[in-house]
Amino acid sequence: MRTVRYVPRRAPWSYRFVTVWRVPGTVAEVRAVLSDGASLPRWWPSVYLDVVPRADGDPDGVGRTVEVFTKGWLPYTLRWTLRITEPMTDTGFALAASGDLAGTGRWTFRPDGPEVVITYDWQVTATKPLVKRLSRLLRPAFEANHRWAMSRGEESLALELRRRRAAGPAERAALPPPPAVTFRRARGR
């Protein structure tokens, strides 16, 4: 995983990250996993503590909306809404965030032999008062928290793809679980 941090031109609580993942699989497999927001707590439990679907959206995904409860390595949580804003295709999709995080994200997929290169461009402003107030002082820690979360995502996605390709229950059971949440008591709503 590679994450590039861009220096903000706006408020210190605005962030832009470009993360690149490389996982074994096909674009169709990656798209199927990433387009299923309700499954995020199962395969990426270190970050997605809860997901509540709010709107189904169009057949191409536009308008699909979920409320999410997330965290990273640091002991704080975020509540925000994720809404798909562009069709989900084999090249990727875009989303908008509102709530404790507000901004946009764009997932892009590119096949590369037996792997898929996945790029996530996340431009977001922290609106949660605690994070917003502390961003000037703790920006490096918040950035490290994001990198940690995305690293767990790449690892978790690779495991989920292996799980989906498993030949049967025994092979599936032999796979390790995805990375778990830190600070377990933050798990409750």
pLDDT at residue 12 greater than cutoff 90: no
Kindly state the percentage of the chain with pLDDT values over 70. 92
* Separation between Cα atoms, residue 159 and residue 13, nearest integer Å: 33
Q: What is the pLDDT of residues 109-163, one digit of tens each?
A: 999 999 999 999 999 999 999 999 898 889 999 999 999 999 999 999 999 999 9
Which has the closest alpha carbon to 12: 160, 131, 93? 131
- What CATH number does residue 140 fall under? 3.30.530.20
Q: Which pLDDT does position 107 carry in this prediction?
A: 98
* Separation between Cα atoms, residue 46 and residue 70, nearest integer Å: 9
* Separation between Cα atoms, residue 121 and residue 140, nearest integer Å: 18
Q: Residue 155's domain spans which residues?
A: 2-187
- B/e letters for 85-95, b = 16+ CB within 10 Å, e = fewer, are beebeeebbbb
* Separation between Cα atoms, residue 80 and residue 66, nearest integer Å: 9
171 versus 12: the higher-pLDDT residue is: 171
Q: Token pair for residue 137?
A: 């002082």
Q: What is the pLDDT of residues 55-110, one digit of tens each?
A: 999 999 999 999 999 999 999 999 999 999 999 999 999 999 999 999 999 999 99
Q: Which pLDDT does position 4 carry in this prediction?
A: 61
| Tally of helices (H runs) and strands (E runs) in the chain | 4, 8
Total domains in the chain come to 1
